[in-house]
Structure 1
Amino acid sequence: MKQFFLTMGGVFAGLFLFLIVVPFILISIAISSATSREPAPAHTVLELDLREGLTDQTPTNPFAIFGGGGLSTMQIVDTLAQAEDDSRVKALLIRLPEAGVTPAAADEIRQAIRRFRRSGKVVIAHSQGFQPVGTTVSSYMIGASASELWMQNTASFQLTGFSADAIFLRRAFDKFGVEAEFEQRYEYKNAVNEYTQSDFTPAHREAMTAWMTSIYDSALANAAQDRKTTLPALKATIEAGPYSSGQALQRRLIDKIGHVEEAENEIKRRAGRGAEIMDFHDYAASQGERTGSGSDAIAIVGGEGAIMTGRGGGADPFGSGSAIMSDDTAEAIYDAIEDKSVKAIVFRVSSPGGSPEASEQILAAVRAAKAAGKPVVVSMGDYAASGGYWISSEASWIVAQPSTLTGSIGVFGGKFVLADALGRFGVDMRNLTVGGEYSDAFSPSSSFTPAQRAAFAAQIDRTYEEFVARVSTGRRLPPARVREIARGRVWTGAQAHRIGLVDQLGGLEEALAKAKQLARIDADANVRLKRYPQPKSPFEALSRMFGVSGEAAQVLVGIGGVMNDPAAEATVRRIQTDRARASGASVLAEQPY
């Protein structure tokens, strides 16, 4: 009886979702799409608000818009490239955040703004202050690339440098009886230090200071170039702050003081009679993605977030969070290989790392593309570190921004032992094990035995050597040289370029140009841009959502049958198969559809 009511509850839940919620969501999307595709006025000023936060790439989930979040760096680059050639777009107004922007994203956006200005169009950036928080220097760099940089009269220019804080938990763990047992390869692989140390180790301090200095100096050098001054002069002025808006104007750190409404009126005046401000989101939606033209195509394969085995990516169906799922990403590369019109692949990577097994699966697809005669150019985003560098290491060419965090050629792993900590609160943890001695190696109830520790350390060593081998092969460096520059150290793109881990500094546009060159396509020839993986349709995304309930899935199968829609039934059965695999079931073949 209980099972009957559970089944009926699932059926009614499925019917409610399918007949009420789904139509509401689809209608909302249709209305949103229709309203966002209004044509741009004859004299348009685009307003780009960077205060909303940025991802590197636009999510492929159609429902991510309901989870909030702003634009993506790639969407901004793409849209500004189209706006350059759009005679209706006369100017750009940028709202700067008071805190920082991810440094590599700031590099990419600055380059897009400079290209937009070279088309003869004016750019005004407006700031309500530069606060001493994070990489504010990157926000200022974007502002400096504009035709004019404005500040509100009451705002403060508090940018005087770049600082970062780290939290170390070693003393707290000791106090509460938590044991952090980790292996790291090697001294610069500092992700575990927050658990095992109470302060920066010399290697941690050295590496972190080096990449922070690289980002700071690079941003100020770019700002100095755009402000038509020298790096030493700009650095001396900034570091002598903070300043009021009036003092910042006097020292030529900004161009004008005014409220955002005044900046809007000024840029509309410059754009011409009857100019109107159009939200950047709306213009981007009206234009769609840049597709290009021509018989030859270049594939753009996207990958953002932690690297994990499997498929799907993200537990929240309405969230904008991303992950690089190995099945999906490898499949996207193989799809590009099979497309005869695709002559080269640009692989956009923005990842802090992840699973070695997932990374190797993706790297195998990169190798397959090269073997098929299709060059692979990696364009690094905010990060391409650890596993992010693993999947990039054997590309035909690597392009990174000066501030991209990359390298981290190393590996770590371990566990927390919690039995003593829980015991202090009257909670007893006990373990039962069947099998060999290594079976309970990762049990949080006890420390590694000497044999377990040795076996685990040997596994970490093997993974490290495999990583070194991939980098040695891909970068054509002797293994000894790779070990020398690896040791888990994070480099900026500028540093990585000097030591041979990166081929070229730049962004997506530079990567596309190099892909054309490697594919022997004339530099001036038009090419189509084909993006992989393809964005999910609303039905595909909803199908994944229904997959959480077997009863609801059965309702969809029934509805598919009533509607005589084999595609709907096939979709649900595929979901059921995938869910079974994800739960550990051994599914040897799909059901025939």
Structure 2
Amino acid sequence: MKQFFKFVFATIIGVLLCLVIFTFIVLGLISSARSDKKTDVEANSVLRLAFNYDIKERTSANPLSGIPFLNLSVKKSIGLNDILASIKRAKNDSNIKGIYLDESYMLSGQATSEEIRNALIDFKKSGKFILSYGEIYTQGAYYLASVADKIYINPKGIFEFRGFHSEYTFFKGALDKLGIEAQVIKVGTFKSAVEPFILDKMSDANRLQVNSYLGSLYDYFLTNIGKSRNLSKDSLFNIANDLKIKYPEDALKYKLVDGLKYKDEVLTELKKRSGIDQNSDLNMVELADYNDPDENKDSGSSNTRIAVIYASGDIGSGEGDDNSIGSEGISKAIRKARLDKKVKAVVLRINSPGGSSLASDVLWREVYLTKKVKPIIVSMGDVAASGGYYMACAADSIYAQPNTITGSIGIFAILPNMKNFLNQKLGVTFDGVKTGKFADLGDVTRPLNPAERAILQDQVNHGYLDFTNAVASGRNKTQKYIDSIGQGRVWTGAQALKIGLVDKLGGLDAAIRSAAAKAKISDYKLVAYPEQKSLLENFGAGLTSEVKTYMMKQELGDNYKYYNDLQTILKYSGAQMRLPYKLDIR
């Protein structure tokens, strides 16, 4: 009997615990729903911007992202679309007196930083101030901060200004020790996605292209900082090259910052600039709270629309989600916009390193069909390369930022030969029968024979011809010319403009204006696709995904990115149109 009551008591405690957890989740959902209400901003307020998270193309509709009880995140991550809208709204908001950039790190890509930086430059046209403060300034954070009227750093802080570098990991040595051979079939001298598996260092061709695009990015970086700080590009280069800035005092000496201050001193200045009495609290508005869900809801004609389709992440089959491009999901979105008579033009926002060649071709087809019936303009984000460029090339025109990464017109396939690993390392052997000479083509337990390799090489060659033909047709160039600038070579947006892979430099707003002009409309409403899932649709999947990601990040820390990269590699299926590597420029 005693044991019985113990189990009953334990069951009751378990049920009560589940009810408490469920209550917190519901409260979080209610809180999330309430956050969609318009924020009342007090007079003489300052908008605080901090970008110490990976900025997505648009704000996630996942209601679980801000539940403190689950410790997933304290604040909802704001997407680029809402960041730009908030800065634009603050420019005309009489209650917002200025912007406070409270930053040390900028974790997002360079084109994303460029969009935000340009929005801040536009904000300054209002005559309002921008003040930046950081205890640590990484180069990415400083690039954004350089537009501020005043830049302050903690007197004991860290200021990084040493030039760009890009480092790549090679796995050949580890594969050799394991007895695994990476059998590579590719087209493109510069298509170096396969190099980590067959080399222990960069090839000469790869080193050439990395030097080229890294130099282009760095030149643009220095030029823009020089314009903002009234310093010459050459002097900035020398400062970085000789590592003249080792301490905050050096940053002040070379005029990269305006003062060494502690945060209390910065807050005092913010009060003064915003017209707040020093004995009163500063009216600080957080970006996540600066919300106006009714913005643009009723603007423009409901019968005249421009569809903005967001395509972010690796390209593969299926529906995809906010972090991946599913050929089925994005095709459906493009098709819906094409068939909707109210939609007069389409803007396709691409932020992708590529992926499956088959899925990329499926998406290319939808863009091609849309171009026949209404204008479709591509806006490139941080990356729109390989398969990401393939789906873009059929559009009427392509916009990119100068520091967008694009091109990489090439194709490859990798088939592991695990015979030695399985036979010699594990003692596992295989035997079987087959009814045809090529029935077991693709078997990883043995090496490819010459005939099989020839078949796969022919398929990859065929895919490359399709790729270059699609680009040549879309860009009105010869296939021979596209092959000469293709071969898997990576370009920046600035370089791509010169060689004809993109049409103009600019962000999403510029692409939208171009789409409106081509459609000959001036009064229109923006609609976003794919439609984000409702609260109830997101609930189960959202909770599982958030918890899984959170736990992995907690366990692996900075090494999570390697786990994520491995997960991507394991999803490779068939021929790939993909960037040579995940770019991590610092």
Give TM-score scaled by structure 2 length: 0.83
Q: Who is 2:562 aligned against? A: none
Residues 414 and 478 (structure 1), Cα distance of their counterparts in 2 relative to 1, 3 Å cut: same
- The equivalent of 1:205 in structure 2 is 207
Shift of 1:269: 2.1
> CA contact under 8 A between 1:53 and 1:71: conserved in structure 2?
no
For the residue of structure 1 that corresponds to 2:422, the secondary structure is: helix
After superposition, the C-alpha distances for 1:145-197 in whole angstroms (9 at most, x for unaligned) are: 11111111101323111112112222332233110101121111111101111
Please state whether the residue corresponding to 1:437 is helix, strand or coil. Answer: coil
1:494 alignment partner in structure 2 = 494
Cα 1:247/1:367, change in 2 over 3 Å? same
**What is the match of residue 58 of structure 2?**
57
After superposition, residues 69-468 of structure 1 pair within 5 angstroms as 70-98=77-105, 101-131=108-138, 136=139, 138-240=140-242, 241-273=244-276, 275-283=282-290, 285-287=291-293, 290-291=296-297, 293-295=299-301, 296-313=304-321, 322-372=323-373, 374-430=374-430, 432=432, 434-468=434-468
Distance (whole Å) between structure 1 residues aligned to residue 17 and residue 473 of structure 2: 51
CA contact (8 A) 1:98 1:128 kept: no
CA distance in 1, matches of 2:343, 2:537: 25
Given candidates 519, 525, 530, the residue that maps to 1:528 is 525
Q: Counterpart of 1:528 in structure 2: which amino acid?
A: K
Which whole-Å deviations, capped at 9, do the CAs of 1:317-356 have from their partners, x for residues lacking one? xxxx600111111111122223322211111100000112
Distance 2:540 2:158 in 1: 50
Letter aligned with residue 275 of structure 2: G
Task: Give the superposition deviation at 1:32.
Answer: 2.9
CA distance in 1, matches of 2:174, 2:352: 30
What SS does the corresponding residue of 2:428 show, helix, strand or coil?
coil
What is the CA deviation profile of residues 473-531 of structure 1, one whole-angstrom value per residue up to 9, with x for unaligned ones?
1100100000000000111111111100010111111111111111112xxx4431111
Query: Number of aligned pairs?
Result: 517
**How far is the alpha carbon of 1:19 from its aligned partner?**
9.3
- Report if the CA contact (8 A) 1:41-1:88 is conserved: yes
Tell me: CA distance 1:487–1:16, structure 2 relative to 1, closer, same or farther (3 Å).
Answer: farther
Instruction: Report how far residue 298 of structure 1 moved.
Output: 1.3
Tell me whether 423-432 or 410-419 shows the greater mean CA deviation.
423-432
Provide the rounded CA distance (Å) in 2 between the counterparts of 1:485 and 1:386.
13
The unaligned stretches of length 5 or more in structure 1 are 1-14, 314-320, 549-593
Give distance in 1, aligned partners of 2:265 and 2:435: 74
Q: In structure 2, do the counterparts of structure 1 residues 16 and 547 end up closer, same or farther at CA, with 3 Å as the change threshold?
A: farther
Change (3 A) 1:184 1:401: same
Alpha-carbon spacing, 1:475–1:117, altered in 2? closer, same or farther (3 Å): same
CA distance in 2, matches of 1:265, 1:308: 51
Q: Distance in 1 between matches of 2:425 and 2:226?
A: 58
Change (3 A) 1:547 1:94: closer
Q: Which amino acid aligns with 2:299?
A: S
- Residue 113 of structure 1 deviates from its aligned partner by 0.7
The normalised TM-score by structure 1 is: 0.82
Deviates more, 1:412-421 or 1:57-66: 57-66
Is 1:41 the counterpart of 2:48 in the alignment?
A: no
Q: What residue identity is the alignment partner of 2:172?
A: R
Q: Distance in 2 between matches of 1:366 and 1:483?
A: 22
Aligned equivalents of 1:16 and 1:507: distance in 2?
51
1:516 maps to what in 2? 516
| C-alpha distance 55-545 of structure 1, shift in aligned 2 (>3 A) | closer
Higher mean displacement: 382-391 or 139-148: 139-148
Question: Are residues 72 and 427 of structure 1, via their aligned partners in 2, closer, same or farther at CA, if it must alter by over 3 Å?
Answer: farther
Secondary structure of the equivalent of 1:440? coil
Matched position secondary structure for 2:355: coil
| Aligned counterparts of 2:23 and 2:248: Cα–Cα separation in 1 | 51
Contact 1:306 1:323 in 2 (8 A): yes
Give CA-to-partner distance per residue, 1:102-125, whole Å, 9 cap, x none: 211111111111111112221112
Contact (CA 8 Å) 1:39, 1:286: kept in 2 or not?
no
Q: Contact (CA 8 Å) 1:56, 1:382: kept in 2 or not?
A: no
| Distance in 2 separating the partners of 1:477 and 1:224 | 36
In 2, the alpha carbon distance for the partners of 1:547 and 1:228 equals: 50
Q: What is the letter of the counterpart of residue 314 of structure 2? A: A
Provide the residue aligned with 1:567 in structure 2: none
**Residue 534 of structure 2 corresponds to residue 537 of structure 1:** yes
The alpha-carbon deviation at position 74 of structure 1 amounts to 2.7
Amino acid at match of 2:525: R
The secondary structure found in structure 2 opposite 1:487 is coil
1:260/1:419 CA distance change after superposition, 3 Å: farther
Once residues 545 and 201 of structure 1 are traced to their aligned partners in structure 2, the CA distance between those partners, rounded to angstroms, is: 42
Aligned equivalents of 1:489, 1:289: Cα separation in 2: 42
Tell me if structure 2 keeps the 8 A contact 1:62–1:535.
no
Residue 422 and residue 399 in structure 1: after superposition, are their counterparts in 2 closer, same or farther (change >3 A)?
Answer: same
Identical amino acids, percent of aligned pairs = 31
Write out per-residue CA displacement over residues 415-451 of structure 1, whole angstroms, 9 at most, x where no aligned residue. Answer: 2222312344334142546453333332221111111
Q: Matched residue of 1:215: which SS? A: helix
3-state DSSP of counterpart to 2:136: coil
Q: What is the CA–CA distance in structure 2 between the aligned matches of 1:346 and 1:496, rounded to whole Å? A: 20
Distance 2:97 2:523 in 1: 25
Moved more, 146-155 or 470-479: 146-155
One-letter code of the match for 2:333?
A
Partner of 2:550: none
Once the two structures are TM-superposed, the CA of residue 288 in structure 1 deviates from its matched residue by: 6.3
The AA in structure 2 aligned to 1:150 is: Y
Aligned-residue CA RMSD in angstroms? Answer: 2.6
Shift of 1:359: 1.4
The alignment partner of 1:384 has SS state of strand
> Post-superposition shift, 1:259?
2.2
User: 1:531 is aligned with what amino acid?
Assistant: A
SS of 1:51's equivalent in the other structure is coil
Amino acid corresponding to residue 190 of structure 2 in structure 1: Y
Moved more, 444-453 or 232-241: 232-241
What are the within-5 Å matches in structure 2 for residues 479-490 of structure 1?
Answer: 479-490=479-490
1:81/1:112 contact within 8 Å kept: yes
Matched residue type, 2:417? V
